[in-house]
Copies of this chain bind each other. A is one copy, B any other.
Amino acid sequence: MLQFGKIAIIGAGNVSYTLCKLLKDKDIEPFCVFVRNESEAVKMRADLNVETVSDYEKVMLSDLAIIAVNDDAISEVASHLVDYKGLAVHTSGTRPSETLSEIERYGVFYPLQTMSKGREIAFDDVPILIYANMPEDLIRLRGFSAALSSKVEYCDDEQRKAVHLAAVYVSNFTDVMLEIGAKILKDNGLDLSMMRHLVKETMQKAFEMSPEKALTGPARRGDMETIENHMKMLEKYPEEQDIYKLLTNFILEKYHENEKL
């Protein structure tokens, strides 16, 4: 069976932390973790009981190197791995796999999830999107990923870029909508927590029916009186009003051609 023996992880951020923890939970001991900054290395050893290194000597002896650093730092890390004989993968949603193309065997290991240090995630069904330039490595990488999640999918650079862009809408921008909702509620002596049930049902509906079929509300109904009232209430929040206007027109245009704010 094609698989990896020694696994090195590079980085000390959210993704590196989450991966180290996950591997240890699965009884896969990371061969070493490369951390340049000594105080971060101290913290990581204390938190996760892993072996950290601060030069690439030991990394070069591994079979799989997972580069879990900021997008901007990937090239710099790759420049140290030019003679690497194992498979080097990065974890970025946006950078092409070719960022690593000076290394003989390269690929991508992209877990589709929002990760924060200190927040545990049930990783079992987090989609892991994988790519490798050599077919045998793709098989190895699939086997490795399948040990971590039940949802492993092949994804080329173009698709991964689309996934990352879509994730900005469905994750970052939905979060901003909750932020605005929370602000309006707070200014009226109310708390976002009252929306939890509504948000949960909205999301379930969208995934089970489809976002189009699940859509309700004044813009979907073409209820201009309510929309005008909302616009008035938003006069003290000019930026949030701009967002209301743009998104309401986006919906009206689709369902009520003749109405517009």
**Residues of A participating in the B interface, judged by any CB pair closer than 8 Å:** 71-72, 94, 112-116, 119, 121, 125-127, 151, 153, 158-159, 161-182, 184-185, 187-190, 192-203, 205-207, 209-212, 214-220, 223, 225-226, 229-230, 233-234, 239-240, 242-244, 246-247, 250-251, 253
Contact = CB atoms under 8 A, between A and B. Distances in A.
A146 B113 CA distance: 38
Given A243-B250, A246-B243, A178 B185 contact: no
Contact of A206 (B178, B209, B214): B178
A195 B220 contact: no
Given A206-B175, A210-B182, A226-B71, A170 B199 contact: yes
Nearest to A124: B197
A212 to B, nearest CB: 6
Given A177-B177, A182-B210, A202 B159 contact: no
Given A229-B94, A247-B243, A169 B194 contact: no
Given A126-B197, A182-B211, A199-B170, A205 B119 contact: yes
Interface of A is mostly: helix
Report how many copies the assembly holds.
2
